[in-house]
Amino acid sequence: MEPRPRSFYILGGFFALFMLFLYGPTITIAILSFQGPEGGLTFPLRGVSLTWFRELFMEQAVGDIWGSFARSLTLGLMVMVTTVVVSVMAGLAFRRHFPGSTVLFYLVVGSLVIPSILVSMGIGLLFDRTGIGNHWARTAFGAQLTWTLPFGILIMFAVFNRFNPAYEEAARDQGASTWQVFAHVILPLIAPALVGVALFGFTLSYDEIARTILVSGSRNTLPLEIWGMTTNVTSPVLYALGTLTTLFSLTLVALVILTVTTIQRRRARAGSDAGKGMV
Amino acid sequence: MRRDHLNSWLLATPLTVILTIFLILPILLIVAVSFWTADEFSFRPDFQFGNYAYLFGSSVAWKVFGLTMLMTGIVWALTLVIGFTVAYFLAFHVRTLKWQMVLFLLTTIPFWTSNIIRMISWIPLLGKNGLVNQTLISAGLIDQPIEWLLYSSFSVCLAFVHLYTLFMVVPIFNTMMRIDRSLIEAARDAGASGFQILTNVILPLTKSGIMIGSIFVVALVMSDFVTTRFMSGSQLANVGRLISNDVGLLQYPSAAATSVVLLITVLLIIGAMLRIVDIRKEL
């Protein structure tokens, strides 16, 4: 192998600094969340304790953390399932040109770039004026879908752009019905990408503030609860909460990476199942 | 072919319904409300241009729109330079696919965590008694803590770069990985230096990735109000905050007029960018 050019070391150093910039702050609050009971929001650490984590688990100590966490979890799952199903359907539809498909595509791009505050305010007003009312499981759900669906659909575009139609044609030639082609050929092939769409759907919902802020109704989601806490909580309990919710997100990402690599490895090992039939 | 169309329409129906209820109708309502009349406690349907006249006659509004554009420009330039450099390192200097994927994953993981927590994470570093000031003071470089590190336009800009550089790295890395390596070898054989290859071969071929990243960053920064409010400690104004302040005061018609102007500005800029790149082909 030829020796590495000098630019490699310069760029490598730049990349290392970028990593420090990305992860440094998160690591800092992870350390400070173990601040002693006398300690404050900044260094030095005055002892090491679990005081601030314990405070999170005490009732009424700081806001409605666990209630909002439960709502965020439920909402995240609702958004995730809807995003996966609707994105797959739309992705299939967009494989062929149909009257209105260009308009619908630009609407999807629009959904991504339209300022979040407009979506939030517009939905809030609409449901307020029509008397239906705002509720996290209704209006916040819809508002978050305008953010997660474009990501899901763009991923489906990327997937179907690389999709080899020969597999479907083969199945159809063998007499498979449209549903069988979808369930036994397309779905297994796009499954790893769907895990990715699901991750987008859940985490984008779980962390969303801008589109949710005016439409959550009378009860907060977790990010909104944290957003409210930033103005009146001035103890490391905020860091403890941040550390926990970051750990939660990282666990999800790790699970997804694990799932996808397992699927791929198993496929590589099993090779083609051609000729084995459907059992 | 009719049946094919029917099938496609049926498959696209859920998407269309959701976007109609939660995107088209709300935006149309905002456009309508921007012509309504408000008094101190309520607002009612009307058709008059007073909200727009007030907005365009307000020197504060002009200044805030200008500041928002300026911040967008600065953040765009910074995320582009940093994002391009990171993607270039990953795509052309890391030699094995395995390490490329590991390092790429490492740059994307923070995206999956909470933005508000990532903003809060700057407090112990940039605060008046934060790590940066403590270090600088104990090193004897400064006597007084630097005040503008946190709750300033500097920290707002820093947070934007921290949160959104990823939106540049991903599409640029993606297009770079698709560049045919024989083009680079051909350039080298023809005597091009590393820098010439970068500016004359890689940069033009990465244009679409740069455009997609730019669309994300511009749209996110122009319409932000959460990051600006938190990172400036409510001291810095931008268009998003102008709108959310009006909403807080229940001045919906005024908020709606500002929203419509913001929407048109964003759509014009993004529309111009979309003319340069065909998103559907680039995915």
Q: Which residue has the higher pLDDT, A232 or B76?
A: B76
ipTM above 0.95, yes or no: no
Work out the pLDDT band at B283, boundaries 50, 70, 90: confident
Distance CA B33, CA A126 (A): 11
A123 to chain B: which residues are within 8 Å by CB? 22, 26
Our count of domains for chain A comes to: 1
Q: Report yes or no on B15 lying in a domain.
A: no
Work out the pLDDT band at A279, boundaries 50, 70, 90: very low
Copy the structure tokens of residue A200.
């987008």
Q: Which domain holds residue A92?
A: 64-232
Q: Report yes or no on B28 lying in a domain.
A: no
Q: Is residue A124's pLDDT more than 50?
A: yes
Nearest to A116 by CA among B22, B223, B258, B72: B223
Q: Report yes or no on A6 lying in a domain.
A: no
**Chain B contact present for A9, CB below 8 A:** no
Our count of domains for chain B comes to: 1
At A275 the pLDDT is: 55
Q: Nearest residue on chain B to A207, judged by CA atoms?
A: B114
What is the rounded average pLDDT of the residues B223-239?
A: 91
At A274 the pLDDT is: 57
With pLDDT > 90 as the criterion, what percentage of chain A qualifies?
A: 63
The CATH number linked to A207 is 1.10.3720.10
Copy the structure tokens of residue B280.
């559907």
Count of CB atoms situated within 10 Å of the CB of A232: 8
B120 to chain A: which residues are within 8 Å by CB? 29, 226, 230, 238-239, 242
Cβ <8 Å between A118 and B283: no
Q: Nearest residue on chain A to B130, judged by CA atoms?
A: A42
Q: Give me the residue label for tokens 């540049």.
A: B168
Min Cα distance A275 → chain B (Å) is: 31
Q: Report yes or no on B29 lying in a domain.
A: no
Q: Which domain holds residue B218?
A: 58-282
**Chain B contact present for A162, CB below 8 A:** no
Give the pLDDT confidence of B250-265 residue by residue, as tens digits.
Answer: 899 999 999 999 999 9
Q: Report yes or no on B237 lying in a domain.
A: yes
The CATH number linked to B103 is 1.10.3720.10
**DSSP letters spanning A146-168:** HHHHHHHHHHHHHHHHT--THHH
CB pairs under 8 A between A and B: 252
Q: Nearest residue on chain A to B102, judged by CA atoms?
A: A257
Copy the structure tokens of residue A237.
């309990």
What is the rounded average pLDDT of the residues B114-128?
A: 92
Is residue A64 a contact partner of residue A225, using CB atoms and an 8 Å limit?
A: yes
Q: Tell me phi and psi for residue A176, to 5 degrees.
A: -70, 145
Q: Is residue A264's pLDDT more than 90?
A: no
Give the pLDDT confidence of B159-173 residue by residue, as tens digits.
Answer: 999 999 999 999 999
Q: A271 Cβ partners below 8 Å, 6+ apart?
A: none
Nearest to B115 by CA among A25, A154, A123, A35: A25
What is the rounded average pLDDT of the residues B114-135?
A: 91
At B235 the pLDDT is: 87
Burial class from Cβ neighbours inside 10 Å (0-12, 13-18, 19+) for residue B210 reads buried
Q: Is residue A199's pLDDT more than 60?
A: yes
Cβ <8 Å between A210 and B224: yes
User: DSSP H helical segments within chain A, as ranges?
Assistant: 6-32, 51-57, 65-93, 101-113, 116-129, 141-161, 166-173, 178-181, 187-206, 222-232, 237-270
Give the pLDDT confidence of B192-226 residue by residue, as tens digits.
Answer: 988 899 999 999 999 999 999 999 999 999 999 99
Q: Report yes or no on A113 lying in a domain.
A: yes
Cβ <8 Å between A18 and B82: yes
Q: Report yes or no on B197 lying in a domain.
A: yes
Q: Work out the mean pLDDT of chain A and round it to a whole number.
A: 89
Min Cα distance B223 → chain A (Å) is: 5
Count of CB atoms situated within 10 Å of the CB of A56: 18
Cβ <8 Å between A230 and B4: no
What is the rounded average pLDDT of the residues B121-149?
A: 89
CA distances from B57 to A77, B53, B72, B198, B210 (A): 46, 6, 23, 47, 37
Q: Report yes or no on B102 lying in a domain.
A: yes
Q: Report yes or no on B103 lying in a domain.
A: yes
Q: Report yes or no on B79 lying in a domain.
A: yes
Nearest to A160 by CA among A88, A265, A264: A88
**DSSP run (H or E) holding B43:** strand B43-44
Q: Work out the mean pLDDT of chain B and round it to a whole number.
A: 92
Residue from the list A1, A209, A214 with its beta carbon closest to the beta carbon of B226 = A209
Give the pLDDT confidence of A31-89 residue by residue, as tens digits.
Answer: 999 988 888 888 888 888 888 888 888 765 567 888 899 999 999 999 999 999 999 99
Is residue A12 a contact partner of residue B85, using CB atoms and an 8 Å limit?
A: no
